[in-house]
Structures are given as structure tokens and as C-alpha cells.
Amino acid sequence: MSKSPHLLDDIRGIVAWLISQIGLLLAAGVLIASIASLTFYSDWQKEAEAKAIASEIATAIETMDLKSESNITPYVFPFKNYHYNVTISTEYVTVMREGGTFTDVITAREALLIKPFIRPAAWDLAWNTSEELYDFLWRTYGGRQYAGNDTHPFPLNNENLVKQVKQYFSDELARTALQLARQPLRIEDTNEPIFLEKALIYFKHGNGDLDTMGIVIIHQEVPS
Amino acid sequence: MKPSFIGDKRGVSEEFTSLPALMVVMIGFALFFALMATTYVTYHQKLDEKELYEAAHHAVLKLTLPESPLISEGDTDTPLIVSASISDISANDLTECCNLTGYDYRVKIYYYDEQGEKRLLPGTENLFTGTHSSGDTVSASRKIAVKFADGEIRYGKIVVTVWRKEG
């Protein structure tokens, strides 16, 4: 009986490992890696959490727009056991948190249905709260007769004045929207509340009936 | 000199067992990615619908606030009364009351006649902001009361249909 050749000396070998088995291993490896990465190593849970925070803030702002009377509500950001930042511009609420698996910062953005007047404390603005707004209107447009509040409404029969006041709000919103697009209101410390305010600007008909125009103000000034 | 196994020109047929296994894995691949793609597309469709519904819901609530140009009067029994003669309401009035960022909307007001049939209130056939809808639309509605010139009050509803602005 002849001695069988050593494995490496056996020239009758086939190269199957170089073709389908390697293909099979690669395909199975990629498939398992895809499932594992999507399930265990992706940031979808963290993204969903950030999205939920952004959505909650946006809903609070939009709900303020649906109030039919003047209102001021402190908004306290949701408490989380990790740090997150919030930026608010006229059109978006953005939540950013650290700790992503593949990216340093996880960002979630929620579009706002309305355009609020955002008054960052760091900006030197003519008014921040509704009280300051009425005072501003009293001095600037009302000729110290009309403030746009319920006691000193703007007269609707003075069409020029009403047009000027409405134009002011439109221009001010556009101006701050542009500035906020470049430099949004950034809330670093989410333990500090922001204040959501519904302000009504009153206009008086000749017969004494009142019309109102509602605006939403977001500011950081603690009301007195 | 022995020929190298790479230089061996004698072909052999592939082992049969690995090919079906490769096929099973490839089918698994296809199924997995088809499932992921379907989930992704469905999720985004639902998200889109939810956003449109939120916009419609916000608009219908805003347009039924007391300061809305559509609401003429109200009392504690029937807080939301729409005057039947609102043909002078324009798209500009709607925008002043409720300007949704990124969306346009159409408002229709219906009332129920003596036979209980739903009828469109005259003057609200073409009440919409922006341009006509060109994509997906979602509607939200709210019950209201419609007051006619003779003082008769009929119950109806306001329907707001929202779509995304073009461009």
C-alpha cells in the first residue's frame, strides 16, 4: 500500500475556498454586520429622543398661539440624565446632544408652524416682554395715546396708524428671522426656563368693539 | 517538478453544497434590505402625514378662536358661531389670522339642512391661501354653528385642508 501524499504535496486539490465559500462568508458577514449595526450600534434611539424633545418644545410654542387671551407661561425643558443644547430660530427648534456612536453630535430639528417673536436676552432689543412692547408702541407709534393694549387700543379709523403698526410687526419679524437664521437663540443651560408669551394687540372700531392681533413672544426675562 | 495547484489546468466542478447556502444568504440579504426600505419609506410617509395633520389641526383651532374673522359671535351655549354671510372673507383675512409656515390651506364650511344633508356654505367655495394643492393633502374639521340672516342657527362643520407650499 502506497503512502498517501502530504496535504500540501497533494496536487489534486481544488480551489473552492477561493470562490463560493469566501463569497458565502463575506455575504453572511455583511448581512450579520448590517443587522447588528442597525440594531445595536446606530443612534436611532438617541435621535428619536432628541426629536421628541424638539417636538415637545415646538408644540408648547404652537399651543401658546392658540390661546385666545394674553398669557405668559414659563417653559421648563425636559429633564434628562444627559446634557443637551437647544437652539430656537423663527422657523425651527433644534436639539443637539453629544454621545453619538458615529457622529459626535446628534441633531434633531422640528419645524415650527408659526413664526414667534424671539427675543434673546443677549441682544439689545427695544422690547422683550409684552409689557415692554406696549410701552414701545405707546412711545413710538401711539403718540402717547395708544399702546395697543386693552386700555389704550389703536383706533381702526386711523388707517394709516393701523397700517404702520402692522407693518412694524411684519418688518420686525422679518428682521429678527434673518438674524436668528444666522445666530439662533441658544439655550446652553436647560435648567433655566424660557418664557412663552401670547400678547394681544388691540384695535378699536368706531362703535367700541375690539379687534385683536395675537403674537407669540419667546424671551428669557423673568416677569416682574 | 510538480506543477503548482494554481497552475493545475485540470478543472473541477464546484462543490454543490456551498451554492445553495450562498443562495439562501443572498435571499436573506434581499429580504432584509427590502424590509428596511419598506420600513423607512412607510415611516417617512407616516411622518409626513402626521406633520400635515398637525398643521391642519392647528389651522382649524386657530380659525375657530374668537378673534378669527370666520367667527362672528358666540355665547356659552354655542361658542363657535359662523355668520352665513361671510362672502367678504378673503384669503388675506385668513392669512392674517392663521399663517402656517410652509403650508397653504383651504377652508370649507358646511351646514346641515332640514333633511340632514350636508351643504357647502355659499361664499366658501374658493376660500384658500396660496395656490391650489399640488401634492398630498390632509384635512381636519371641527363642529360649529352657522347663523343665517333670519336668525336661524344650523349646525355644521369647518373643514381645513392643508398641503405643503410649493418651492
Integer Cα distance of A34 and A40 in angstroms:
10
CA distance B55 to chain A (A): 7
B103 and A31 in contact by Cβ < 8 A? no
CB atoms within 10 A of CB A132: 16
- Per-residue pLDDT band for A66 (boundaries 50, 70, 90) equals very high
Q: From residue A139, how far is each of A134, A135, A167, B14 by CA, in Å?
A: 9, 6, 17, 92
Integer Cα distance of A207 and A96 in angstroms:
52
- The pLDDT tens digits for A195-220 are 999 999 999 988 888 888 899 999 99
Which sign does the torsion angle of CA A116, A122, A126, A129 carry?
Answer: positive
CA distance A27 to chain B (A): 7
**A 95-134 residues with CB < 8 A to B:** 111-115
With contacts defined as CB-CB under 8 Å, which chain B residues touch A27? 22, 25-26, 29
Residue with cell string 392669512? B95
Phi then psi for residue A194, to 5 deg, are -110, 165
Give the residue from chain A lying closest to B61, CA to CA.
A66
Check whether A86 has a pLDDT greater than 90: yes
Q: Give the model's pLDDT for residue B1.
A: 61
Check whether A42 has a pLDDT greater than 90: no
- The pLDDT tens digits for A93-150 are 999 998 887 788 999 999 999 999 999 988 989 999 999 999 999 999 888 889 999 8
A70 vs B11, higher pLDDT? A70
Nearest Cα neighbor of B110 from B66, B60, B77, B145 is B145
- Burial of A185: CB neighbours in 10 Å, binned 0-12, 13-18, 19+: buried
Contact between residue A95 and residue A53 where contact means Cβ atoms under 8 Å apart:
yes
| Arithmetic mean of pLDDT, A26-33 | 85
Residue of A70, A112, A113, A198 to mutate, interface with B, max B Cβ within 10 Å: A113
What nine digits make up the cell of B7? 497552475
Average pLDDT in chain A: 88
Q: From residue A85, how far is each of A48, A126, A172, A195 by CA, in Å?
A: 15, 27, 26, 17
Give the residue from chain A lying closest to B35, CA to CA.
A35
A87 vs B127, higher pLDDT? A87
Q: Give the model's pLDDT for residue B95.
A: 85
Residues of chain B with pLDDT under 70: 1-6, 8-17, 73-80, 83-87, 167
**A 186-205 residues with CB < 8 A to B:** 200
Nearest Cα neighbor of B137 from B146, B128, B149 is B128
Phi then psi for residue B54, to 5 deg, are -60, -40
Chain-centroid distance of CA B99 in Å reads 17
Q: Give the model's pLDDT for residue A27.
A: 81
Q: From residue B57, how far is each of A8, A88, A119, A152, B154 by CA, in Å?
A: 76, 23, 27, 33, 23
Q: Where are the domains of chain B?
A: 43-164
Rg (CA), chain B: 30
Give the residue from chain B lying closest to A68, CA to CA.
B65
Contact between residue A108 and residue A47 where contact means Cβ atoms under 8 Å apart:
yes
Q: Give the model's pLDDT for residue B19.
A: 74
Q: Give the model's pLDDT for residue A189.
A: 87
With contacts defined as CB-CB under 8 Å, which chain B residues touch A47? none
DSSP state of B128: B
